[in-house]
Amino acid sequence: MTEPTPDAKLRTPSNLRLRMIASVAMIAVASVALVLGDIAFWLLAVVIALFMMAEWSDLEKVPPKTKRLAQFALSVPLATMAPAWLIIEPRPFFTLGLIAGAAFFVAIVTRLPQLALGVVYCALPVLALVVLRRQGEGLLETFWAMSLVWACDIGAFFAGRSIGGPKLAPRLSPNKTWAGLIGGAAAATALGALLHAAAGLPLVLALASPLLAVLAQAGDLYESWLKRRAGVKDSGNILPGHGGVLDRLDGLVPVAPVAALLVVSLGAFG
């Protein structure tokens, strides 16, 4: 019997069921941490960022000692995002400087600029989410930023499977289609409209949802390029049915900073 391809395996009922269970569990954990407050949310974000840095290091094929150095460098700006620090005086620009400094340190010590880029890649979305959470309507707006990525992933997955059609970027990700892109944007739009009508999400944020959904899928393609360059299918194997943490959060990485900029700008000018 011919061995099924990895894509065929993914489409089996057992793998699809495992993927759905894992997705629900991850969404539940993130949502509970968000509701519990700043400390729980920050702790979860820090753990995730360190896992992301480990997987980024593995994609760069660096030795364990270099991986740990990158994680230690990342932990410095992550520590300044702690609620105890932010309660005293919010200093996101100070933390931005530390992110740049940590990346510069990694680049100088390891002579691996791509590894240094990983520090920025892992730290920036955490800072954005922490800043979002501390806004006046932070609970709603942070949930919007995260859930539009979830909605986009779900819409893209099912639209791509049921409709198929022309490939979006076959050289980067052979399974992604234009139908998936449209389905993901449509799902994010529906979510934005629902949150606007039911929870009072500002209209400008609801209208931005489909654009951020496209950005999320661009982040997905970028991570696909990273894996193709490294010659691997997944960034890791810690998440059942999903691969690694980078595989699951690639869309949130570009969305979170843009969402934070939109919310902060809305507060400044609105």
Task: Please give the Cα distance from 260 to 40 (Å, whole number).
Answer: 19
Q: What is the pLDDT of residue 12?
A: 56
Q: What separation in angstroms does the CA of 152 have from each of 69, 146, 155, 220, 263?
A: 34, 10, 5, 11, 20
**DSSP string of 60-126?**
TT--HHHHHHHHHHHHHHHHTTSHHHHHH---HHHHHHHHHHHHHHHHHHH--HHHHHHHHHHHHHH
Token code pair at residue 28: 């539940």
3-state secondary structure of 243: strand
Backbone conformation region of residue 243, classed left if phi is above 0, alpha if psi is from -120 to 50, else beta:
left
Predicted pLDDT of residue 109: 97
State residue 241's pLDDT score. Answer: 65
Q: Which residues of the chain have pLDDT under 70?
A: 1-14, 85-90, 241, 268-270
What is the Cα–Cα distance from 208 to 75, expressed in whole angstroms?
A: 32
For residue 232, CA distances in Å to 93, 196, 223, 243, 247 come to 36, 40, 11, 11, 12
In 3D space, the residue among 166, 170, 131, 136 whose CA is nearest the CA of residue 258 turns out to be 131
C-alpha 74/C-alpha 53 separation (Å) is 8
Chain position carrying tokens 């300044």: 80
In angstroms, the CA 270 to CA 257 distance is 19
pLDDT of residue 234: 87
In the chain, where the domains are located: 37-134, 136-270
pLDDT of residue 194: 97
Task: Report whether 72 contacts 116 (CB < 8 A).
Answer: no
Which of 186, 212, 204 lies closest to 267, judged by CA? 204
Burial class of 65 by CB neighbour count within 10 A (0 to 12, 13 to 18, 19+): exposed
pLDDT for position 5: 39
